[in-house]
Amino acid sequence: MKRREFITLLGGTVALPIFAQAQQPERVRRIGVLLPFDNENDALVQQLWPAFTQRLRELGWVEGRNVKFDVRFTNQNIDAADLLASRPELIVVWSNPGLAAIKEATQTIPVVFALVSDPVGSGLVATLAHPGGNITGFQNFEPTIGGKWVELLKEVAPGVRRVGLVYDQNIPANVDFLRTAQALSDSIGVTVTATELHNSADIERVLTEFAQEPNGGLVVTPNPLNASNKEAIIELTARFHLPAIYAFRIDAERGGLASYGFDLIEQQRGAAGYVDRVLKGEKPADLPVQAPTKYQLVINLKTAKTLGLDIPFQLQQRADEVIE
């Protein structure tokens, strides 16, 4: 990550008061950060990390002055021991796999998470109101969102009869998305199948196979592998003319057909607020896990046109944003 350079000007013609000269430098608080991406160049990192650090600055935490970040980019290779070796006094985590690894590695260092689905069902916290232990934060999606994504995909692309839910079976929340999507499928006239990716090399093969039969569409669930390969997924859906719905607004902005999800920027600002409170002495066990209260539907009309889709005007009116 690029780091702001701080220049301290010493000396000068104006004498400092005696008490100012005697002041000790601020204590620097060390924060470990586990991000499920290849590096800082990922589009989601470039959007969310500044929102997080900006809110911390507003609360008085300035990198290089009183806080230091030890950032680890993990993708699929999570090394919790390496992060703990940096001796952080607080850890920030952005994913279910990362949080699971940190939970196993430490039960004492305070942890604030974001971008984590169904933390209770995944066994990461006790309850939302009383998370217990050393972990709290901001969850993203409830399991029922799986059905909502399928429903919206059907509205955006009425011709879809087969839905491939692109997921990671090792993430309990992703499995719940599949379950709720399949539970709804019969009522809206679609068949939902598990479309699992194990690694980046799987993407083209799996989507090529899915596209062999007509009337297909995709639900691309939130998980680290999908996030790190979103550009490839979006490119392949365009090549194979597969309507797809995604979890995050940025995916529709990058060319995905549609997205339905919460405000990621506000969640990062909220997470920064929890970091501030923990650094000032509050315990994670006493801070309830926060859930999104507002979701946004974004439709990319340019992508719809390339797919030959005529988005109903009523649906466009319901959308929070229409990209033309």
At the topology level, CATH places domain 145-262+295-323 in: Rossmann fold (3.40.50)
pLDDT at 224: 87
Query: What's the predicted TM-score (pTM) here?
Result: 0.82
Whether 269 has a pLDDT exceeding 50, the answer reads: yes
Q: Torsion angle, CA of 269/271/274/275, rounded to 10 degrees?
A: -100
Q: Which residues contact 254 (CB under 8 A, 6 or more apart)?
A: 43, 230, 231, 234
CB 113 within 8 A of CB 94: yes
Q: Cβ distance 311 to 156 under 8 Å?
A: yes
CATH topology of domain 18-140+264-286: Rossmann fold (3.40.50)
Task: Give exposure, 87-107, as e/b (b: 16+ Cβ within 10 Å).
Answer: ebebbbbbbbbbbbbbbeebe
Q: What is the pLDDT of residues 112-155, one digit of tens each?
A: 999 999 999 899 999 999 999 999 999 999 889 999 999 999 99
Beta strands in 78-215 (DSSP E): 90-93, 111-116, 135-139, 162-167, 191-196
Residue boundaries of the structural domains of the chain = 18-140+264-286, 145-262+295-323
Largest CA distance in the chain: 80
| pLDDT at residue 6 in the model | 29
Mean pLDDT of the region 22-28:
71
Which band of pLDDT confidence, cut at 50, 70 and 90, is reported for residue 19? very low
Quickly count: other Cβ atoms within 10 Å of residue 9's Cβ. Answer: 5
